[in-house]
Amino acid sequence: MRNSQEQALQSLIDDLRQRAAEAEETLAAIRDGSVDAVVVGGEGKDEVLVIGDDASAFRNFMEAMEPGAVAVDSAGRLLYSNARFRQIFAEDWDRLKGKLLSEVLPGPASQLIGKLINPDSHEAAPVSVSFLEKGVERNYLVSARPVHLGTVRGFAVTFSDLTERVRAEAAERAERIANAIIASANEAVVVCDRTLTVTHANFAAEALSTEKLVGERLDAAIPLKFPDATGILDIGELVETSLAGTPLRSIEAFAPMSPGARDVMVSAAPLNISDDEPEGCVLTLVDLSQRKKDERQMHLLMRELDHRVKNTLALVLSISKRTAASEETLEGFQGSFSGRIEALAATHNLLAGASWESLSLRQIFSAEVSPYTETGGERVNIIGADLSLYPRAAIALGLIFHELATNATKYGALSGEKGSIVLEIHPKTDAPSVEVTWTEKDGPAVKSFSRKGFGHTVIARSLSYSPHGGTTMEFEPTGVVCRIRIPASDVA
Amino acid sequence: MSTEEASTRKLILYVAGETPKSLAAISNLERICREHLPGKYRIEVIDLKKNPQLAREHKIVAIPTLVRELPIPIRKIIGDLSDEQKVLINLKVE
């Protein structure tokens, strides 16, 4: 009996000891913060009390936040996530709760954000990360701030969606690049939308219109006329053809309303931004005005050249026939013919050097007389202001000077040791002719040509193409005097 | 009782809704069992916020508390189970 009482007592003591140990352990757990709720019994009804703040207000606040937000403890364990966060990762809370944030986030983002929620780390600056959300990359700015949740220290981590801003910045940058490309093009570049409204135009394009282009209708701002052969009626049709998928290249057109009314070469290509139908059209317009002007000048010059070659050949043929008729020997023909052709060539050279514009009379004289003697020396002098002659007069005068110099060398002032020649250029007046006088002195006594050969004909007739041109020869005892009348219309 | 049944731990974890320590205890317990008792445990989580009266069966006062119901004798581990060694000793896994 006594033993059974002792056993019951011992059992009671053991039970009390165990309860005391449990009570001590419970108090220690509460003190060191490893529990955060207690069961309180009263009037036969148990109740759970959460130690510290009830986190429901905090959770309600997080739930209403637009950015994704989570609360984690110091180990990075998810204590709460709001709806936006769950949406980002397409997870429900039952699957997320208690997981480490690093298990939820993709690798690179996990490392960056891991530094933010590491209690030993001092990283506090927000980090930019990107995740695939429903297969589309989205950008987030992630920041973390320390918080207390009940007895727990942890972090509130927010995920602010920057995707639209990043996209807008990328689009803005792309727009700036596109504008820079268009602006740096030397040729006119115009971009219009499907309604023909101009959206971009560079400086060269603006020069094709009197109005500011952007915002205007292309067909009104730069109306173009196309040659019938192109089959295109107007610039609107050009754009429509391009939008239908057919790029058009190097089509000549005329821009009548552009300043200076310009010829242009137009190319049009569809503006493809996505896989959908083209959003507009890119047109380049090359100004052909200078090229057209050059082409017209070239055709003019070719016709002029053709004309001059024919004239020259006719002149050479005439010189050949007349020289043959006036010379009695082959040697005589060769000498005279060569001399005349060389005279012609000398003037031609001078004219070619001056682009067939006009020639100095002094230059022509020097070119023709210098083969026989030094010009500008004691024996040959030029007096009077120089004249500028047009090609027709220049060629004629070159032949005349050649014949006069030849005669002077054979029979006149240059045939002996003492004779001299003076060329006097009279100034241009209102008279229809300008006179130039060739005067020989101190040569042998002269007499009229005993035989008026082709040389005389050249002298007499070369300037007779005009009633105000011609020559008169006087055979003075002191030497030949030739008065040359150049049509004033051929003197510049 | 078969040998297999004898070696299976029946573990009851008492939590209080989704308090931080409750979530930590669930997470820690699942990890420890997965790593050290693969296939040899059964976990029952009892939310005392929903059913406070269930605290009486094991005289639960502090939450979270883990009760090893099997094998007997019953053992209690109070706290969020973050001390892995303490948990393993009480579960007698060593």
A406 located within any domain = yes
User: In the sheet that A470-476 helps form, which strands lie side by side, from edge to edge?
Assistant: A380-383, A420-425, A433-441, A479-487, A470-476
**Confidence (pLDDT) at B93:** 59
DSSP H helical ranges for A202-329 = 203-206, 218-221, 235-243, 289-326
Which is more confidently placed, A150 or A63? A63
Q: Domain holding A181: CATH number?
A: 3.30.450.20
- Answer whether A463's CB lies under 8 Å from A485's CB: yes
**Confidence (pLDDT) at A43:** 67
Which chain A residues have a beta carbon less than 8 Å from that of B65? 35
How far A70 CA lies from chain B's nearest CA (Å)?
A: 13
Please report where in the chains the tokens 């959770």 appear, as a residue: A59
- pLDDT tens digits for range A49-92: 887 666 677 777 788 778 888 989 888 989 888 888 888 888 88
Q: Answer whether residue A302 shows pLDDT above 80.
A: yes
Q: What band does A179 get if pLDDT is binned at 50, 70 and 90?
A: confident
Q: What band does A389 get if pLDDT is binned at 50, 70 and 90?
A: very high
**Pair A326, A459 in one domain:** yes
Which chain B residues have a beta carbon less than 8 Å from that of A22? 59, 61, 76
The CA–CA distances, whole Å, from A147 to A70, A113, B5, B26 equal 11, 16, 45, 22
Mutate to test the interface with B, among A15, A32, A48 (most CBs of B within 10 A): A48
User: Is the full-model pTM beyond 0.90?
Assistant: no
Cβ within 8 Å, pair B20-A152: yes
Residue A19 corresponds to which tokens in the numbers above?
């309860």
**Pair A468, A344 in one domain:** yes
**Pair A305, A429 in one domain:** yes
Residue A263 corresponds to which tokens in the numbers above?
């010829």
Segment (H or E) for A247: none
Question: What number of other Cβ atoms are within 10 A of residue A141's Cβ?
Answer: 16
How far A94 CA lies from chain B's nearest CA (Å)?
A: 11
Size of interface A-B (CB pairs under 8 A): 101
Q: Answer whether residue A275 shows pLDDT above 90.
A: no
Which chain A residues have a beta carbon less than 8 Å from that of B53? 45-46
How far A115 CA lies from chain B's nearest CA (Å)?
A: 21
Instruction: Over range A24-53, report the average pLDDT.
Output: 80
Mutate to test the interface with B, among A39, A79, A100, A147 (most CBs of B within 10 A): A39
Cβ within 8 Å, pair A39-B64: no
Is residue A259 classed as helix, strand or coil in its secondary structure? coil
Residue span of the structural domain in which A106 resides: 56-161
Residue span of the structural domain in which B59 resides: 3-91
| Sign, CA torsion A15/A16/A19/A25 | negative
Residue A381 corresponds to which tokens in the numbers above?
């002098």
**Pair A377, A472 in one domain:** yes
Q: Domain holding B24: CATH number?
A: 3.40.30.10
Residues facing A130 on adjacent strands:
A139
**Confidence (pLDDT) at A397:** 92
Number of domains present in the structure of chain B: 1
Mean pLDDT of each 10-residue bin along chain B, 94 residues long: 61 91 91 88 91 87 89 85 88 66
Do the bridges between strand B9-15 and strand B41-47 make them parallel or antiparallel, or are there none, so unpaired?
parallel
**Distance from C-alpha of B24 to C-alpha of A168, rounded to nearest angstrom:** 41
Cβ within 8 Å, pair B62-A46: no
Residue of B nearest to A153 (CA): B20
**Pair A471, A368 in one domain:** yes
Question: Which residues of chain B have a Cβ shorter than 8 Å from any chain A Cβ?
Answer: 16-24, 26-27, 30, 48-49, 52-53, 55-56, 59-65, 76, 78-80, 82
Which chain B residues have a beta carbon less than 8 Å from that of A37? 16, 19, 21-22, 48, 62-64
A143 located within any domain = yes
- pLDDT tens digits for range A417-474: 888 999 999 999 999 999 999 999 988 887 665 556 777 888 888 898 899 999 999 8
**Confidence (pLDDT) at A272:** 86
Candidates B70, B94, B71, B90; CA nearest to B29 is B90
How far B3 CA lies from chain A's nearest CA (Å)?
A: 29
> End of a domain among A240, A262, A287?
A287
**Distance from C-alpha of A154 to C-alpha of A144, rounded to nearest angstrom:** 10
Number of domains present in the structure of chain A: 3
Q: What band does A45 get if pLDDT is binned at 50, 70 and 90?
A: confident
**Confidence (pLDDT) at A65:** 79
**Confidence (pLDDT) at A449:** 59
The minimal CB distance from A35 to the residues B18, B21, B52 is found for B21
**Pair A171, A148 in one domain:** no
Instruction: Over range A15-25, report the average pLDDT.
Output: 81
Instruction: Over range A184-195, report the average pLDDT.
Output: 90
Q: What is the ipTM of this complex?
A: 0.87
Q: Which of A18-32, A202-216, A435-449 has the highest mean pLDDT?
A: A202-216
A17 located within any domain = no
Q: Answer whether residue A152 shows pLDDT above 90.
A: no
The radius of gyration of chain A's CA atoms, rounded to the nearest angstrom, is 54
**Pair A303, A404 in one domain:** yes
**Confidence (pLDDT) at B1:** 44
Cβ within 8 Å, pair B62-A37: yes
Q: Answer whether residue A127 shows pLDDT above 60.
A: yes
Q: Answer whether residue A253 shows pLDDT above 50.
A: yes
